[in-house]
Amino acid sequence: MPWEKSFDESEVIDKAMHVFWQKGYMATSISDLTAATGIQRGSLYNAFSGKQELFLRSLQKYDREQRCVLLKRLEAIDDPLKAISVLFDAIVQQSMEDPQKKGCFLINTSLTLSEHDDEAQALVSTALKEFTQFFARQIKLGQQREQIPVTVPVRATARALFALVVGIRVMGRGGFDKPALHQVAKQALRLVS
Amino acid sequence: MPWEKSFDESEVIDKAMHVFWQKGYMATSISDLTAATGIQRGSLYNAFSGKQELFLRSLQKYDREQRCVLLKRLEAIDDPLKAISVLFDAIVQQSMEDPQKKGCFLINTSLTLSEHDDEAQALVSTALKEFTQFFARQIKLGQQREQIPVTVPVRATARALFALVVGIRVMGRGGFDKPALHQVAKQALRLVS
DNA sequence: CCGTGTTTTGACCTATCGGTCCAATCAATC
DNA sequence: GATTGATTGGACCGATAGGTCAAAACACGG
């Protein structure tokens, strides 16, 4: 009886994600989304409740596929100092290899978000917090293995490292070039030694 | 013959600035601006060429009254370590005492800006660069006075300190509280010792 | 190959956007 | 107080925003 959708919902979200990521929520119109995804207005509203939901799903997808994947990859390294170092290199790399200089979708969103989008707000909030918890875990582990001095305060340093990540991602969108970002990344390691 | 304007142009820009600062360029409508400034649509367009110019003027005013004033105040301290420390305290203070959590107008704008606003882009770019140059000057001065080890790389550390400033301002808009930001500020000083 | 019920399409809706326009309004000059 | 000419208020403009809807297109079970 029914009929299968002619498009892959996940692909649509992926296309929408890149538009939202580049232009932000407000600057992205429904027309932008239909143009980018190839599906028509009505179909889009048939599959999703509206712009908001599509944005939230995009944000979730980014969080799942970018942040979670990255952190899991780093956690597998099982060498705290190396993991932190690789993380910063990866961030610098990601920041510079993107010709559109989109930066980090989550961080961009945290600055753009109006206070009415409770769900998105919550998503961003927990995402950023889990990021600092990653740092905290690595530092603690490093201290257990005596790679990192026990004089290094765990939570404070974790937060500072996270602040540096945020700084790098924001600077990567402005006029700062790769050597500049790399210098910042190098300084991050001084906080854990 | 003619007739004096009934409003103070500078006051209008100040009111507009706070709206743009809080909501961003795109999310601010002309109606928002007329409501906030009290003057009517026609008068606004009579005094300014449009939304763009008003935004640029707002950004200039912020740059002049916030960033420049702050940096000048710090420069007068004539004690590099103290100046840096006071700067970070001030940033944390500013971030938390604002109930609206607006953050830094310049940093917000650097993430929101579309690539067509050349003038605003340039303003933000030089503002951010002068900020890192401030750090560089302080570090160099601190080394001359033997307050800061000469092993500290000037430019790299200056950029890292700036990245921390950006991080703090962004984190201040999200769920992070005052103790958290203060811990980050404390870590900044470890980079210059 | 015919119903069935979902998907698709694109025209259409209202609200609001940034911006224009001009008659009414006023302060200064005569 | 009449004249002057910029300022003001707010109706108005086309464009576009996000969102709706009904008819056409379609894949399946019978």
* Among the listed residues A183, A179, A184, A148, the one whose alpha carbon sits nearest the alpha carbon of residue A164: A184
CATH classification at residue A169? 1.10.357.10
Q: Of all residues in chain A, what percent carry a pLDDT higher than 90?
A: 90
B101 beta carbon to strand D: under 7 Å: no
* Among the listed residues B130, B158, B131, B128, the one whose alpha carbon sits nearest the alpha carbon of residue B142: B158
Cβ-contact A185, A89 below 8 angstroms: yes
**Per the domain annotation, does A150 fall within a domain?**
yes
**Per the domain annotation, does A19 fall within a domain?**
no
Q: What is the pLDDT of residue A5?
A: 67
The pLDDT of residue A123 is above 90: yes
B127 touching chain A per CB within 8 A: no
**Per the domain annotation, does B127 fall within a domain?**
yes
pLDDT tens, A137-188?
999 999 999 999 999 999 999 999 999 999 999 999 988 999 999 999 999 9
* A116 against B187, higher pLDDT: B187
Q: What is the pLDDT of residue B75?
A: 93
B136 touching chain A per CB within 8 A: no
* Among the listed residues A63, A52, A62, A47, the one whose alpha carbon sits nearest the alpha carbon of residue A12: A47
Please, what is the Cα angle at B8 between B7 and B10, to 5 degrees?
145
What number is the average pLDDT over the span A109-113?
Answer: 91
Distance separating alpha carbons of residues A171 and B140, to the nearest angstrom: 23
pLDDT tens, A3-27?
666 778 899 999 999 999 999 999 9
Q: What is the pLDDT of residue B116?
A: 76
Positive or negative: CA dihedral A137, A138, A143, A146? positive
Distance separating alpha carbons of residues A169 and B77, to the nearest angstrom: 31
pLDDT tens, B111-153?
998 777 889 999 999 999 999 999 999 999 999 999 999 999 9
* Among the listed residues A16, A18, A23, the one whose alpha carbon sits nearest the alpha carbon of residue A47: A16
Choose among A111, A114, A176: nearest Cβ to B103.
Answer: A111
**Per the domain annotation, does B2 fall within a domain?**
no
* Among the listed residues B17, B26, B30, the one whose alpha carbon sits nearest the alpha carbon of residue B58: B17
**Per the domain annotation, does B4 fall within a domain?**
no
- Residues in chain B with CB shorter than 8 Å from the CB of A125 are 174-175
pLDDT tens, A22-78?
999 999 999 999 999 999 999 999 999 999 999 999 999 999 999 999 999 999 999
Distance separating alpha carbons of residues B154 and B145, to the nearest angstrom: 14
Q: What is the pLDDT of residue A4?
A: 66
C1' of D23 to CA of A40 (Å): 16
pLDDT tens, B153-175?
999 999 999 999 999 999 999 88
Domain range for A164 is: 62-190
pLDDT band at A2 (very low <50, low <70, confident <90, very high): low
Number of structural domains, chain A?
A: 1
Cβ-contact B105, B21 below 8 angstroms: yes
pLDDT tens, B31-42?
999 999 999 999
**Per the domain annotation, does A132 fall within a domain?**
yes
Distance separating alpha carbons of residues B93 and B72, to the nearest angstrom: 18
pLDDT tens, B2-20?
566 677 889 999 999 999 9
What number is the average pLDDT over the span A91-109?
Answer: 95
